[in-house]
Chains A and B, each alone.
Chain A
Amino acid sequence: MKLDFSVGMGRNLTISEVASHSKSAEANGFKQMTFLDQQNLSRDVYTMMTIAALNTSRILIGQGVTQPFTYHPSVTANATATINELSGGRVFLGIGAGGNAVRSMGIRPRSIDEYRNAVIFIRKYFSGQIAEYQNATMHSEWVNQKIPIYMAASGPRSLQLAGELADGVIFLGSNPEFIKWQKDYVEQGAIKAGRDPLEIDYWARTCIYVAPTKEAARREVASYAATAARNRYWYLQRKTPGIENLGEIIERAQPGLINEFKKIYDNWDEDFHETTDAPHADFATQRIIDFFHIVGPPEEICERIEQLGNIGITNISTTVFTIIDKKSMMNKIGNTIMSHFRN
């Protein structure tokens, strides 16, 4: 089975650590690397991407992910195109509707229409055409590039939107039933827009932790799993048919799991978002960790990745946010996992 691997980082790297971590990602065979855009928590995303571009030669570089709230989309497009030019065409745009970056500022994420408008604007702007956003029209004097757009999506409408517009879609989690539920909506959106769903690159955003036992992985992955569980719980409160159906699917597969999500939601501390040893991470049960992450001995990890490959995932997107020795984990994944998915 052939699968690509990507790696997300930038949560708590100082800027002088970015170059060596980028080189390590490239040396270990990751196809893409992404950097967080969370201005209250992490270093500037475009500084990180610039440094990554200057210190690598093959790996593809993008945001993981940005959002159309803290920047005018022309600024986002221009910065992305600048780094694409600098890297010799190795950049993609990773975007979502808001999520944590926006919620941590106490604001609701962008509506689906605004998300759509921002992505359509950026695609036109990349191609050098006149584009319109919130009634202002503009174009770039120098950008005329083909840059792939990857959209993060979690609800039925944003998943369908991604199917309509995106070159790649970033799903959250590693549970096959959950991923399948997400992917079905993307495919519906693609078909409705007259696209072939097979053209789309499907990423499962997770955290791979290679360790002799699941218990040994716990400390460094629980916090990120808690983030995912908290967001998912927040989402499951919406009373729409699609979301209620997801709640039923999860409850049927793993009775009581949603109640475990709720405990994290109730005990959430934003200041420890994706930090190792976050207090709310104590509430992340092994079931929660396994719902979002892929941890344990290499054979078990490979087996779970195969399940994802079987339902059409094309890229396993791991993150090292809360992992203490990030380079060593990238190396272990390169040696013991990626080697099984080269063809």
Chain B
Amino acid sequence: MKVQFSLGTGRDETINQIITQTKLAERCGFSHITFVDQQNLSRDVYAMMTAAALNTSRILIGQGVTVPYIRHPSVTANATATIHELSGGRAFLGIGSGGNALRSMGMEAHPMKAYRDVVEFTKRFLAGKEAEFKGIKMRSEWINNSIPIYMAAIGPSSCRLAGELADGVIIGPGIHPELVKWRIEQIHRGAENAGRDPSQIEIWVRTMIYITENKQNAFMAASSYGNRGPYYLFKHKNPSTDDLFKRLNSKIPDLEGLISEFKKFFYSYDDYQHELPNSPHSKLVTQRMIDFVHLVGNPEEIQQKIEELVLLGVTNISTVLFTIRNKMEMMKEISKSIMPVFRS
């Protein structure tokens, strides 16, 4: 059974720490590395990607994920293409709808149509064509690249949009097989509606792998990442999410209770403690929330869960280091005890 592993980092590293981590990630066999784009919390994403490109030779490099609306999309495309040129063709563009990032700045989230406009503009601009955004036309004088676009998706409409437009979709948070299956169905529906072959789309599951014999050891790291997202699935009711609820309800005992835990967490969230260990809101996280979102346990347990995901069509397990204290050790451990099982 074959699956790739990618790595997300950059939450609070200096550029020099990024260089060390990136070199190790490449040696450990990760296929891709992504850097967060959170200007109030982390170092600049393009400085991180530049440092990564200069210090590696094989690993693919992208944003995990960039936020539209804080830069003009031509700036984002130009920066990505610059890193692509610098790295000998190893850059990809990871983009999200920007909801969390905008809310954390006290701004309104943008509608799905805006996400579509940004991605469509970006594809044309990267191809060297004239592109239009908000009524303004422009084109690059030097870019003519084919840079893959990975779109982050949580709910049904972003999954379908990504199925229509993206080379790869980063789904998450959530690793429950029924949820992943449902999301892949949405992506495939979007692809089919656009006349695309769904099997050509890469599917990444964004999670945190934490290898430990005692789940209690993982609690601090796993409780401070990724637990806000699931509630978006249940916040707004529509036929697609009703279907999801029904399907999950048949697999998860006391789903209502689990959702109310996610809800309580969602409304207690402090954006300035985003992804920080020991934040006050992370104290509200329960073990079943963590098991819904992360891959925590001993190597055999984790391998078994990954196998289930691969059977559903997942092509890349995208793990993050953000809140893990000993990041270098965890990378090595994943490389040693998880990756070898999934090489062929």
A interface, CB within 8 angstroms of B = 12, 14-16, 39-44, 46-51, 54, 69-72, 74-75, 77-79, 82-83, 85-86, 104-107, 135-142, 271
Shortest CB distance A302–B (Å): 36
Given contacts A16-B86, A40-B138, A41-B141, contact A72 B47 (CB under 8 A): no
Residues of A within 8 A of B81 (CB): 44
**Contact indicator B105/A74 (Cβ below 8 Å):** yes
B window 64-102: CB within 8 A of A: 69-72, 74-75, 77-79, 81-83, 85-86
**Contact indicator B50/A50 (Cβ below 8 Å):** yes
Known: A43-B142, A82-B47. 16 other contacts (CB 8 A): A39-B75, A39-B79, A40-B141, A43-B78, A44-B46, A47-B86, A48-B82, A54-B51, A72-B71, A86-B15, A86-B47, A105-B138, A106-B138, A107-B136, A136-B105, A138-B104
**Contact indicator A44/B78 (Cβ below 8 Å):** yes
How many Å lie between the Cα of A194 and that of B49 in the bound state?
A: 43
**Contact indicator A41/B12 (Cβ below 8 Å):** no
**Contact indicator A50/B47 (Cβ below 8 Å):** yes
Residues of B within 8 A of A104 (CB): 138
How many Å lie between the Cα of A79 and that of B38 in the bound state?
A: 11
Residues of B within 8 A of A16 (CB): 85-86
Shortest CB distance A56–B (Å): 14
How many Å lie between the Cα of A49 and that of B39 in the bound state?
A: 17
How many A-B contacts if CB must be within 8 Å? Answer: 135
How many Å lie between the Cα of A120 and that of B71 in the bound state?
A: 19
Other-chain residue from A47, A78, A136, A140 in contact with B79 (beta carbon distance below 8 A): A47
Does B137 interact with chain A (Cβ within 8 Å)? yes
Considering residues A39, A69, A75, which has the most beta carbons from chain B within 10 angstroms of its beta carbon?
A39
Does B249 interact with chain A (Cβ within 8 Å)? no
**Contact indicator B47/A83 (Cβ below 8 Å):** yes
How many Å lie between the Cα of A137 and that of B85 in the bound state?
A: 36
B interface, CB within 8 angstroms of A = 12, 14-16, 39-44, 46-47, 49-51, 54, 69-72, 74-75, 77-79, 81-83, 85-86, 104-107, 136-142, 272
How many Å lie between the Cα of A77 and that of B136 in the bound state?
A: 26
Other-chain residue from B40, B54, B74, B86 in contact with A140 (beta carbon distance below 8 A): B40
Q: Which residue in chain B gives the minimum CB-CB distance to A15?
A: B86
**Contact indicator A39/B44 (Cβ below 8 Å):** no
How many Å lie between the Cα of A67 and that of B142 in the bound state?
A: 21
Shortest CB distance B271–A (Å): 9
Given contacts A85-B14, A105-B138, contact A72 B43 (CB under 8 A): no
The 3 A-B residue pairs whose C-beta atoms are closest, nearest first, are A79-B44, A44-B79, A44-B82
**Contact indicator B82/A15 (Cβ below 8 Å):** yes
How many Å lie between the Cα of A44 and that of B71 in the bound state?
A: 12
Other-chain residue from B14, B83, B107 in contact with A47 (beta carbon distance below 8 A): B83
Other-chain residue from B15, B74, B83 in contact with A40 (beta carbon distance below 8 A): B74
Other-chain residue from B54, B107, B136, B272 in contact with A54 (beta carbon distance below 8 A): B54
Residues of A within 8 A of B16 (CB): 86
**Contact indicator B43/A78 (Cβ below 8 Å):** yes
Shortest CB distance B275–A (Å): 11
How many Å lie between the Cα of A39 and that of B50 in the bound state?
A: 17
**Contact indicator A106/B136 (Cβ below 8 Å):** yes
Other-chain residue from A49, A50, A69, A136 in contact with B107 (beta carbon distance below 8 A): A136
Given contacts A50-B47, A74-B70, A82-B44, contact A39 B78 (CB under 8 A): yes
**Contact indicator A41/B142 (Cβ below 8 Å):** yes
How many Å lie between the Cα of A15 and that of B90 in the bound state?
A: 14
How many Å lie between the Cα of A4 and that of B270 in the bound state?
A: 47
**Contact indicator B78/A40 (Cβ below 8 Å):** yes
Given contacts A47-B83, A104-B138, A138-B105, contact A74 B50 (CB under 8 A): no
**Contact indicator B46/A46 (Cβ below 8 Å):** yes
Other-chain residue from B42, B69, B71, B85 in contact with A43 (beta carbon distance below 8 A): B85
Other-chain residue from B70, B136, B142 in contact with A71 (beta carbon distance below 8 A): B70
**Contact indicator A139/B70 (Cβ below 8 Å):** no
Residues of A within 8 A of B136 (CB): 105-107
**Contact indicator B74/A75 (Cβ below 8 Å):** no
Considering residues B12, B41, B70, which has the most beta carbons from chain A within 10 angstroms of its beta carbon?
B70
Shortest CB distance B154–A (Å): 23
Residues of A within 8 A of B12 (CB): 142
**Contact indicator B71/A70 (Cβ below 8 Å):** yes
How many Å lie between the Cα of A142 and that of B104 in the bound state?
A: 16
Given contacts A51-B50, A70-B75, contact A40 B140 (CB under 8 A): yes
